[in-house]
Structure 1
C-alpha cells in the first residue's frame, strides 16, 4: 500500500470506527454510548468535533453546501461493503480534506462541502484501493456517485500468506501467540510437534505438555474443550493435524471470564478457518519412515450460509525400548529388579468434523459444529524381568503384552450471539461431549523355552460425558471502560468398570479372584458466575480486574466384588478466584505487564480411575477417586519491546500450590494384589505444598527481509513437600528441590522461485519431581518446501533427529523405600515427504461475526491470529470483550 493510502486508512479509518485498528482503543476506548453519551466511532453525536480529533481535518476548514453520496458494493458478490473508508482528496494538494465511512448498508454521504476540485478514494482491508475520476464542486452541487464496485485484493492476500514476514511470535493483551502456520517442518505431523516449538511450553516423549514446568494446564481447541482432552492431553494432540493449526495461544494469566481450571495457565489451539466464499477442497498427504497421513477438507460458503466438512487420518509406526533398575526396601531384605522392555507402536488417529454458521440477521448469528475423534493405539511389548534378593535370583519372567488404548469421542456445539452495538453483545452457548475409552491389555507369560505358562487380561471401559450451558454479556461504559459478566453450568459424569481375567497354559480365561474387579460412578456438577471490569487511563495504564465464583458438588460410588455401590465421602466445595491484570505502555513500543490470579485444578479421568493397570507388573498404574482439587496462586511480571527488527520478551513468575496433585510411587502390597515382589504402584495424591519460581526469555528477529531467527530460554526452581510411606509403613514427610532449564532455536529462510527452508532445535533439562528427577531430552529437525504453480499447493521434505540412534531419556527416582533408574529410548529418526493441493476457487468475503462457543477449561488431564477477538497489542489496547466466553 502506498504511503498516502496507508495514512488515509489510519487517519480517516480511526475516525470512522474501524475497530480492528486497536491503537484507537488505547486512547479513546471502545465505542459506546448514545445520545448525549460518550459516543462511538460509527455513530458519533458530535461528528465534526470528533472528526477533527481523529483525522486532523480542522473543523474550521472552509465550508459550503455541496453534497456527495453513493453506495459501495463488492464487485463479485454485489453485497454492500460496510464501514469502508471514503476520503475526499484535493487534486491540487493531493491531501484529504474530508472523509466518512459507509454505513451498514454500504451507503455514504459527504455534506457541507466547499467549492473546489476533488476526487474520492475508497479503501477497506481485503479490497483494492479505488479512486474516482476528478470532479468539481460548485455552490449547490449534489453529486450522485451511484454504485461503486470494490474489487477484492486476492493477489495481495496470496502474497501475504507466502512471503509476509509477520512475527512468528506475537504478544497480545493477555496471551502469547505462536503463528504455527509459518512453520514448514511440521507438515504431516500433529499438534504435539507444533507445541514443542512454542515458548514457555515443553512436550515430553509421550506427548505430555508442560507450561513453565507444570502439567497442570488446560488445553482448548478453537476456544472449546473436548472430553478426550480431559481424558488425555497427549492423545488428543496426536489426533489434531499440524497442517490445520493456525496459531497456538499461551494464556498465563487468564481473566475471570475463563473457567478457574488450569493452575499454570491455558493453551488455546486455533485451527485454520475459511473466511472466503465459494467452493474448495484441500488435500494434505504425507509419507514418512515413522508416520503417514492423509487429510481432506472441503468448504462451501455463499451468502449467509457457511459449511465445512473435513477428515484427517494419521498412522504411525515406531520402535521404543527401555531398561529398569529398581530397588525396593519395604521388607527385611531389599529386592532388586532388572527389566528389559522392547516395544513396537502402531497407533492410528482420526478426526472428522462438520460445521455450519448462518447469519439470522445483520446482528445475529447461529453456528453449530459436530466433531468426531478416534484413536486406535496398539502396542506390542516384550518384557524380560529378573528379581534378586541380595545376589540370589528369586524369579524371572518373560511376558508378551498386547496393549489396546482405544477411544471415540463426539463434541457437539450450538451457539448464538446477538450484537446490539460495537462491544455490546449477548451470547448463549451449549455443548455436549462424550468419550468412550477402552484401556485393555492381554499378556502371555512364557517359560524359558518360550512355552505358554499363564495368561492375564485386564478389561477397562470408561465413559466421560459433559453437558454445558452458559450465557455471557458485555457492554462498554463510557469510552474507556468495559463491563463483562456471565454464568455457566457444567454437568459431568464419569463411569469406569474394570476386571481381571487369568488363565493357565491352556489359554482359557476366567475371573481372577486375587486382583481387583469393580466400577466407579462419579458425578460432578459445577455452577459458576463471574464479573470483570476493564479501565484504561489517559496515561495508558490498563487495569483488568475480576472475580469468579465456582461451586462444585460431587456424588460418587465405588463397587467391588465384596461391596456394591459404596459411597465415597467427597464434600462439596466453593471457590472464589480473583484476577488482576495491569499493563503500562512505555515509550518506543515497550510494554510492562503485571498479573495475579488464583486457579483451581480438579482431578481428571486418569487420576480418578481406580482400575489397576498392570500391563507392566513392575510399574503398575492406578488412579485415586478420593482426590481433592488443588489451589494455586500465580504472579508474574513481564517486559516486552521491539528493538529495531527484534522483538524481545522477558518475564518472571511465581506459583504457590496447596493440596498439589502429583504422582507418587510406592511398593505394591502383595497381600492385597497378586503381583510380583518388588512391584511399584504409581498413583496420585494431594501431596501438600509446591512452590515454583522461574523466568522466560525469548526473541524474534528478521535478519533480512527473507531470513528470520527466533529462540528462547526458560528455567525454573521448584520446592515440593509431601507425604509418602516410610520403611515402617507409616506416612512420612519428604521434600525435594531442583532447577530445570530448557530452550529452543528456529531459523526460517525464504528463497527464490517458491523455495523455503527451516531448521529447528529444542532441549529440555531434567525436571524435579517429589521422589526424584525426570530425565531431559532434545529434538531437532530440518525441512525444505517448494510451492507449486499459482501457489495452489506445495511439496516438502523434512528430517527429524536424523543423526544417531534416536532420543534417550534417563529418569531417577529416590525415596526412603525405593530407588529407581529407568532409561527410555525412542528410535524416532524420521524422514517425511509432504504434499498439499487446493482444488476449487475462493473469493474474499467480509469477516463475519460468529456465535460464541462453550469452553470448559476446568479439568486436570493425566500427567505424563486470535479467534477469540483479543486485542492486538497490550500497549495500545483499551477495554475489549475478550472474544469468546470462557
Structure 2
C-alpha cells in the first residue's frame, strides 16, 4: 500500500517536472527586499508586493513575512515596477530591471510612510485567498468568510480544509480525532478538558486564520497523531481599537467585546466572551444480543436531551518591547461555564421471543461546572543577524471540573425503582517551561538551524463518590465503596529537538529534524490500594521536501512520526452510569499509540485567483487507542479505551478556490480515504471507503451587501466495530456593511428546510449489534451586529507555549 503511494508520488514528480520543462521559456530570476516602517523602523508584516510589467499588469504577487522580508522567484528578464502597499501606509513604486547580468534584484530596506495621502499610482487589487498552502500546512483565512459572523470557532473549523466537525463540535482530521488544537500557538487548558466545549466558547469573529498542520515538524510536541490545528486570533494596531459584537438567535446568544491599546512600546489586548446556547437531541437505540449466533434478547431506548449551556471566558495579552531586540509577553486566560447533560430516558428490554422483561423511565439531572485559568510568560530576544532569535516561555494552568449526576428510575406507574448519585470532582494542574533558538546561516541567511527543549509537569486527580439505593428501599441512598475512590495521576514529559531548514535558489527547500521525548507516568487509586508506573522514551523524526516549480506551482513530500498519550479522561476508572444500559469507564493501563505518516502535496495558485491543493497521504497506527464496546448481562454495554487494534488509512484531499466572475467566489474541499482496522485480540477486521465534500460560495453585491451559501456532506465512515452513517450540514448568510458607521450586520440561518439533522452509528461484535439513530436540532437563525472602532485587526504573532501532547476525545458536556 505504502509502496504504491511512493510509486504514485514518483510518477507525479516526473509528470509535473515534465510540464514545468515544457512551459518554461527561459531562466527565472529573483526579486527580494525588506519592508520597514519609516518611523518605528520595525518590519511591516503582510505588506502586499506586486510586480508589474511595462504595461502595468501584475505578473507576481507576494507578501512580506514577520521580519518584513519578501521574495519572488521565477521572474523573467525585463523591466518591471515594484508596487508596495499596506493599510495605513502610502503606496510606493520602484522601477527595476532584470537581466542575465543582474539575475537578482535586491531592493534592500524599503521604508513605507505611515498615515499619509495615497499616491496616485497603479492600484494593485490583491487580497489573501480564502485558503493558502504552505509547506506542511493549509491556512484558512477565516476573516474573509462572511458566514463566520456571529458564530463560534466550531463553525469556523467546519469551513477549514481537511477537517470535519460534528454537531457537538468534535473535530476530526482525515477521520482521526487525535489532534492538537492550539490558540495562537499555545496550549489551552480549555482544549484539554473538552475541545468541543472550548470551541463553542470562542467567538468566530475573533479568529483571523486557522492553520491546519497535516505534517508537523520536530518543533511541535510529538502528540497529535492526525496533526495540529493552530487558531490565530486578531489584535489591534492603532492607539485604541476594538470591536463589540452582539449575537441574538433562537439557539444561541452572545456578547463579544474586544479592546486593544497600543503605545510606542506597549500593546495590550483584551477579549471577553459571554455565550449561551441550547443543545437539543433525540436518540433511539435498538440493540440485539446473540449467543452462538442465536438471538437472545433486545434492548430499546429513547432519550431526549434538551440543555442550555451558559459559559464565558476572558483573555488579557500584554506585550512590552523595551527596544527593537527584545519583547516580553504576558497573558492570562480564564474561563467558566456550566455544561449540563440532563436527559429523559425510556428503557425497555425484551426476551428472544420479544416478551417484555423490563420497562422503566429514568430522569437524569447533571451538574457539570468548570473553572480554569492559564498564565503565560514569554521573552523573545532578536540578535543582529537577521532571523537569529531566542525564545524563553513558561506557562501554568489550573482548572477544576465537576461531573455530578442524579439518576432516578421509575416504573410505568411512576413508582421509584432505583436512584444513584455520582459526585466526581477533577483538579488539573500543569507547569511548562520551554526554550527555542533559531540560528540562520548561509547566503542571505536563508538556511536555519533550530533547536529547543521543553519540560511539562502534570498533576491530575479525580475524587469520585457514588451512592445508590437498594432493592428493599429505593428511596434510601447507601455509599457504594467499590465505586468510590480517589484517583491521582502524574505525567511528566521531558523533550528536546533539533531541525535544519535549507532553501536553495532553484526552488528546492528541505526541513528535516528529530525530537526525543521521555514520558514518566505514575497513577494511584487510594481505596483500591492500586498503583502503576510507566516510563518510556520516543524518537520522533520528521522531514519535508519542498519544490517551487515556478511562481504558481509547488510540490511537497513529507514524513512524520507521531505518538498519542492517554489523557486523564481516558484513564479515569470512575464508572459513568447515568445511562444504565451504556456504561463508560476509563482504563488506567492504557499505553501510547504510535503513528507513521507519508504525505505528498501539489499546490497551484494562479494570478487569476485560482487555488488548488491536492494531497495524497498514507497513515499507519500501531497500538491504537480505540473505544472498545463489550456487552454484559441484561444487554448492558461498557465502553472503555483499549490498546487492542491497529489501523492503516490512505487517501486524497482536494481543496480548491475559484473566482467564477468578479465578486463571485467558490471554495470547496473534498476528501476520500480507505480505512482498514484490525484487532487480533478481538478477532475484528473492518475496512471500507469514506468520503466528504463541502462547498462554500460567496457573492459580493453592490452597496456593500454580501451573501453566502455553505453545504457539507460526509459519507459513511468506517470504525473498528462498525460505522457511522452520512452527515449533512448547510447554512445561508447575508451581510451588510456600513463603512461610515463601522458597523456590520449579518444574518445566518442553519438548516432552514429541516429542523433536525440525523446520523446513525452502528456498533457490532459477535454477541451484539447496536443501532443508535440520533437527531440534532440544527434549525437556527442568528443576527449579529458588529461595531468596530479604531483600526483593522492583525494577526497575533507573539510566541507562546505549545503543549500539544495529549490525546483527548472527550465529547461536549
> What TM bracket, shorter-length normalisation?
0.7 to 0.9
CA contact (8 A) 1:27 1:540 kept: no
Match of 2:767 in 1: 817
> What RMSD, in angstroms, separates the aligned Cα atoms of the two structures?
3.0
Match of 1:485 in 2: 451
Structure 2: distance between partners of 1:836 and 1:849: 20
CA contact (8 A) 1:355 1:370 kept: yes
1:290 aligns with 2:247: no
Structure 1: distance between partners of 2:306 and 2:436: 48
Write the deviation string for residues 561-611 of structure 1: whole angstroms up to 9, x where unpaired.
Answer: xx33x212x321001110010011113511111000100111122211211
Match of 1:801 in 2: 751
Report deviation, 1:551.
Answer: 0.6
Report deviation, 1:805.
Answer: 3.0
Superposition TM-score, scaled by structure 2 size: 0.84
Match of 1:606 in 2: 569
Match of 1:776 among 726, 749, 753: 726
Match of 2:651 in 1: 694
Match of 2:290 in 1: 329
Structure 1: distance between partners of 2:551 and 2:92: 34
Match of 2:327 in 1: 365
Structure 2: distance between partners of 1:364 and 1:382: 58
Structure 1: distance between partners of 2:758 and 2:795: 48
Match of 2:410 among 446, 449, 453: 446
Report deviation, 1:853.
Answer: 1.1
CA contact (8 A) 1:357 1:850 kept: no
Structure 2: distance between partners of 1:248 and 1:260: 20
Match of 2:799 in 1: 852
The change in CA–CA distance for 1:735 and 1:125 in structure 2 (over 3 A counts) is same
Q: How does 1:187-226 map to 2 (within 5 A)?
A: 187-226=149-188
Structure 2: distance between partners of 1:659 and 1:555: 20
CA contact (8 A) 2:450 2:500 kept: yes
Report deviation, 1:371.
Answer: 0.2
Report deviation, 1:195.
Answer: 0.8
CA contact (8 A) 2:699 2:708 kept: yes
Report deviation, 1:316.
Answer: 1.0
Structure 1: distance between partners of 2:300 and 2:91: 73
Report deviation, 1:260.
Answer: 0.7
Structure 2: distance between partners of 1:202 and 1:617: 30
Report deviation, 1:756.
Answer: 0.6
Match of 1:728 in 2: none
Q: How does 1:565-576 map to 2 (within 5 A)?
A: 566-568=530-532, 570-576=533-539
1:662 aligns with 2:626: yes
Write the deviation string for residues 646-667 of structure 1: whole angstroms up to 9, x where unpaired.
Answer: 2111111000111000111001
Report deviation, 1:301.
Answer: 1.1
1:393 aligns with 2:343: no
Match of 1:377 in 2: 339
1:623 aligns with 2:586: yes
1:759 aligns with 2:709: yes
Match of 1:557 in 2: 524
Q: How does 1:447-526 map to 2 (within 5 A)?
A: 447-479=411-443, 480-503=446-469, 510-513=477-480, 516-526=483-493
| Structure 2 residue ranges without an equivalent (≥5) | 1-27, 48-55, 57-81, 95-110
Structure 2: distance between partners of 1:814 and 1:131: 67
The change in CA–CA distance for 1:409 and 1:741 in structure 2 (over 3 A counts) is same
Match of 1:103 in 2: none
CA contact (8 A) 2:85 2:92 kept: no
CA contact (8 A) 2:232 2:795 kept: no
Match of 1:714 in 2: 671
Report deviation, 1:559.
Answer: 2.8
Select the structure of larger CA radius of gyration.
Answer: 1
CA contact (8 A) 2:158 2:164 kept: yes
CA contact (8 A) 1:295 1:311 kept: yes
Write the deviation string for residues 447-477 of structure 1: whole angstroms up to 9, x where unpaired.
Answer: 3122434321111111222110011111111
SS in 1 for 2:451: strand
Write the deviation string for residues 707-736 of structure 1: whole angstroms up to 9, x where unpaired.
Answer: 10010210111111125xxxxxxx542121
Structure 1: distance between partners of 2:408 and 2:783: 38
CA contact (8 A) 2:468 2:480 kept: no
| Structure 1 residue ranges without an equivalent (≥5) | 1-25, 31-40, 44-70, 86-93, 95-120, 133-147, 671-676, 724-730, 865-886
Structure 2: distance between partners of 1:843 and 1:642: 26
CA contact (8 A) 1:256 1:546 kept: yes
1:310 aligns with 2:267: no
Stretch deviating more after TM superposition (513-522 or 225-234): 513-522
CA contact (8 A) 1:603 1:629 kept: yes
Structure 2: distance between partners of 1:372 and 1:511: 38
1:595 aligns with 2:558: yes
The change in CA–CA distance for 1:447 and 1:212 in structure 2 (over 3 A counts) is same
Report deviation, 1:439.
Answer: 1.3
CA contact (8 A) 1:400 1:445 kept: yes
SS in 2 for 1:334: strand
Structure 2: distance between partners of 1:755 and 1:72: 34
Structure 1: distance between partners of 2:505 and 2:133: 22
SS in 1 for 2:808: coil
